[in-house]
Amino acid sequence: MLQIKPASLEHIPEITRIFAHHIQTGTGSFHITPPSALEMQQKWHELQAMQHPWLVSVENSTQKVLGFCYASDFRKKEAFQSTLEDSIYIHPDHLHQGIGKALLGALIKQCKTLGFEQLLAVIGDANNQGSIALHASLGFAHCGILKKVGKKQGTRLDIVLMQLALQDV
């Protein structure tokens, strides 16, 4: 069994390891160098100050972090204050077990409750079919592709844009 709850500072070391794995082995994130635990703590504090949700999925018995997701500002301009961007990463040993759908579903619910109007997915790599399918399964609509805007592992990569309306606007 798993539990979804707000991320806390005690989760940061495991979150940092999960994120580092995906940065080093995949193309879903356009980071080249994984952030340190201190940088992840700073990100956590920043999102807490803005009252943006950051969730973890943990095993009930061990409290091991199986995945995490958060919502951050899409852009730091006033006109975008009701629009967020999601980020979600799952422990490599726990992929394809429904954890991502449970986490992202809970994040969507919190963003709605907080009154945000739009949630965007800015998905690294048009070949990232897992993330694209996850977002589509929760109602995100495909908005477009930015062609070859990133370069990682010697390859030019696209970004897939997806959008979910959280409120009737």
pLDDT digits (tens, 9 = 90+) for 103-161: 999 999 999 999 999 999 999 999 999 999 999 999 999 999 999 999 998 999 999 99
Spatial strand order of the sheet with 2-6 comes to 2-6, 54-59, 65-73, 83-90, 118-124, 155-165, 141-152
pTM: 0.95
| Separation of alpha carbons 169 and 166, rounded Å | 9
DSSP sequence for 135-157: HHHTTPEEEEEEEEEEEETTEEE
Indicate the pLDDT class of residue 56, thresholds 50, 70 and 90.
very high
Is the domain covering 2-165 a CATH 3.40.630.30 domain?
Answer: yes
- Using DSSP's 3-state secondary structure scheme, residue 158 falls into strand
| Separation of alpha carbons 65 and 67, rounded Å | 6
